[in-house]
Structure 1
Amino acid sequence: MDQNYWRKCIVCKKEINFSTKYYKCSVTSCDKKRAPAQFCSVDCWGVHSSTLNHKSAWAEEFHSPSKSEWQSAPKVRIVTGKSSSSDSNSSNENLPNDILVVVSKMKAYVKAKGDLNTSADVSDALSDIIRHECDKAIERARADGRKTLMGKDF
C-alpha cells in the first residue's frame, strides 16, 4: 500500500501527512491501540469531545512518523487458529451451563407479545444462543485490543 499520507482525521476525514503534528484525545478509552482516534486540528478534537461529553479532557499534540519510519514499522497481524468442534466442546466443559435469562420475565414477555405459553426447553435454547453470541462478541473485543466487553461487540 503506497499512500501519501499517514492517517485520516476521524472527524473531518482530512489527511494527516507524514512528519506533521496531529492531536489525540487525553481520555484513555479514546486511545485504542488498533483504532486510535487522531485529529488534524484542535477544532476537530473539540467536535469529538463535545459529542462524547468528556468531562475532563484535552487535546494532546503529537508528531506523525516520517514515511520511512511508518513503512519500516512492524505490521500487526491477527492470527486465529481454526478450532475444531471437539476443541470447542472440550474447552466448554469447564464453563458453567446455567440458564442465562430470567425465565419468569421471558415467559411474561412471550405471553404479553404473542399470547403463547413457553415450554421448559426454551430457556436452555435461549441460553445457548446467548453463549454463542457472547463468544463472538468476546472475539471482537479481543481483536480490538480491549479487556472490556461492550454493546458494540454484539
Structure 2
Amino acid sequence: MSQSTGAPSLFDDGQIGTGGNNNSQSQAKLQAINLIDLLHDGFYLVFLIRNQYVPADAQQFREKILNLLHQFEQQAKKLQFSADDIHDSKYAFCALIDETIVTQQDPSYFNLQNAWLISPLQLSLFGSQLAGYRFFEILEQLRSRGKERLAAL
C-alpha cells in the first residue's frame, strides 16, 4: 500500500520522498508567502542528511540541489522578491547544506564529503569558501536594515 506523501523527489532511488502531483506542487510554490516556503524541499533534504540519508552519487545529488536552487530563484522572481533577498537566501542555504554535509561523522558520508570538499556549493556559486563566517556578517547587515530586508531574514 503506497500513499503519496507530497515529499520532495530529490533522491537517488525514489524510495524516499516519491513526491506527489508535480502540478499541485508547482501551484503550492506559487502560493508561497515567503522565501522559506520556497526552500521547503531544501530544508527537508537537510533534515534527511542529518538523519542518515546518504546519496549514492554525489554528482547527481549536487545537480539536483543546483536544480532546486534554480527553481527557487525562478519562483522567488515570479513572486517579486528582491534580487538581494534571493541572493542572500541562496547564500544562506548553500552555507547550510555545505556545512551539513561536511560535518557528518558517520563513515558512510566519506565519499560524499570528499566530492563536496573539492567544490562546495558556496565556492562554485559565490566564489568563496567563507560562508560559515560570512553568513553571520550578512545576517547582521540584514538585521540592521530592518523591515526593508525582512524577507531574507
TM-score by length of 2: 0.22
Q: Looking at secondary structure, tell me which structure has more strand per residue.
A: 1
Larger Rg: 1
